[in-house]
């Protein structure tokens, strides 16, 4: 855990995720080791989890798995976000955007927008807001961000299908107009309008890049070996202490028996090294 106190890691490559990334993120007293992918890759999830554990194994020596879980990222506003006097905001409302996976801004913004609506509808604390009052927040939200969700969904459908399509997207971002458009849209959270010439250029660029995508895509990926602990150090760590819990890391040696002292140990923070 000490190793990760001020450090987050992000891993890319088809061994850890064909279309997203994998991570080791520090939490309060443990780390989250995970990977993300599209729902149609559900069958791959176990092998992707293996992949991230394999890649991070030299950092996770003597780690303990305390919880394994998987959840869909709530991309796209849910159909029912206000029922009676209950209103959903943030991830609960499905406000993560496709393509960018951005949810923090939308969580904070929707919380504020909903709260402002409640304050306004309560008329200085003299009235309990009704379902119709709360739905005004939804109307404002959809008016402000509906187009953003739609455009990012279309982008994801076109460009996030495979490596070739993703390479095409990267290639397109070389164009100054595309950069301006994506930067402004990302910064101001609205769909930036284009003049007809830019629109035509963007369409042609999209078609060209998608067609050339296959030629641009890398044919294979070679994971980068850990740069942190060498084999000798890892083997020395494994030789002196037992692994708690069930993290299965290929090629790992464990001490044959745990010492009584180790058995009486308090549970360690997950995945914390003992060295």
Ligand X SMILES: Cc1cc2nc3c(=O)[nH]c(=O)nc-3n(C[C@H](O)[C@H](O)[C@H](O)COP(=O)(O)OP(=O)(O)OC[C@H]3O[C@@H](n4cnc5c(N)ncnc54)[C@H](O)[C@@H]3O)c2cc1C
Residues that bind ligand X (CB under 6 A): 23, 36, 90-91, 96, 101-105, 107
Token look-up 């801004």 returns: 105
CB of 94 to ligand X, least distance (A): 10
Two tokens, residue 141: 């939200």
Looking at beta carbons only, is 11 or 23 nearer to ligand X?
A: 23
User: Quick one: 36 or 51, whose CB is closer to ligand X?
Assistant: 36
Q: At closest approach, how far in Å is the CB of 90 from ligand X?
A: 2
Assigned token pair, 83: 């029922």
Between 94 and 129, whose beta carbon lies closer to ligand X? 94
CA–CA gap between residue 101 and residue 188 (Å, rounded): 16
Nearest distance, CB of residue 167 and ligand X, angstroms: 22
**Count of helices and strands (H, E) across the chain:** 9, 5
Q: How far is the CB of 15 from ligand X (least distance, A)?
A: 18
Beta pairing partners, 87:
82
Q: Are 111 and 128 in contact (CB under 8 A)?
A: no
CB of residue 210 to ligand X, shortest distance in Å: 26
CB of 56 to ligand X, least distance (A): 14
SS3 (DSSP) at 96: strand
CB closer to ligand X, 109 vs 201? 109
Nearer to ligand X, 107 or 192 (CB): 107
For residue 25, give the 3-state DSSP assignment: strand
Chain residue at closest Cβ approach to ligand X: 103
Instruction: Give the integer Cα–Cα distance in Å for 128 and 85.
Output: 9
3-class DSSP assignment, residue 168: helix
Q: Do the Cβ atoms of 23 and 11 come closer than 8 Å?
A: yes
């Amino acid at each position: 855990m000490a190793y990760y106190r001020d450090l987050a890691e992000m891993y890319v490559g088809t061994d850890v995720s064909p279309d997203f990334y994998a991570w080791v993120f520090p939490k309060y007293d443990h780390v989250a080791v995970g990977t993300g992918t599209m729902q149609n890759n559900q069958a791959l999830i176990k092998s992707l989890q293996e992949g991230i554990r394999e890649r991070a194994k030299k950092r996770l020596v003597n780690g303990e798995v305390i919880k394994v879980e998987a959840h869909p990222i709530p991309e796209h506003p849910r159909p029912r976000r206000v029922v009676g006097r209950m209103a959903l905001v943030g991830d609960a409302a499905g406000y993560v955007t496709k393509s960018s996976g951005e949810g923090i801004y939308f969580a904070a913004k929707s919380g504020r927008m909903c709260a402002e609506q409640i304050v306004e509808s309560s008329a200085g604390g003299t009235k309990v807001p009704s379902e119709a009052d709360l739905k005004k927040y939804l109307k404002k939200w959809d008016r402000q961000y509906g187009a953003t969700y739609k455009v990012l969904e279309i982008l994801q459908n076109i460009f996030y299908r495979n490596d070739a399509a993703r390479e095409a997207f990267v290639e397109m971002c070389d164009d100054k107009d595309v950069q301006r458009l994506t930067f402004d849209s990302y910064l101001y959270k609205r769909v930036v309008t284009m003049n007809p010439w830019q629109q035509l250029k963007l369409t042609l660029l999209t078609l060209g890049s998608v067609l050339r995508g296959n030629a641009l895509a890398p044919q294979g990926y070679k994971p980068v070996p850990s740069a942190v602990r060498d084999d000798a150090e890892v083997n020395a760590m494994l030789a002196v202490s037992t692994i708690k819990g069930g993290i299965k890391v290929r090629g790992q040696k464990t001490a044959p028996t745990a010492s009584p002292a180790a058995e009486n140990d308090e549970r360690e923070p997950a995945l914390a090294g003992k060295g």
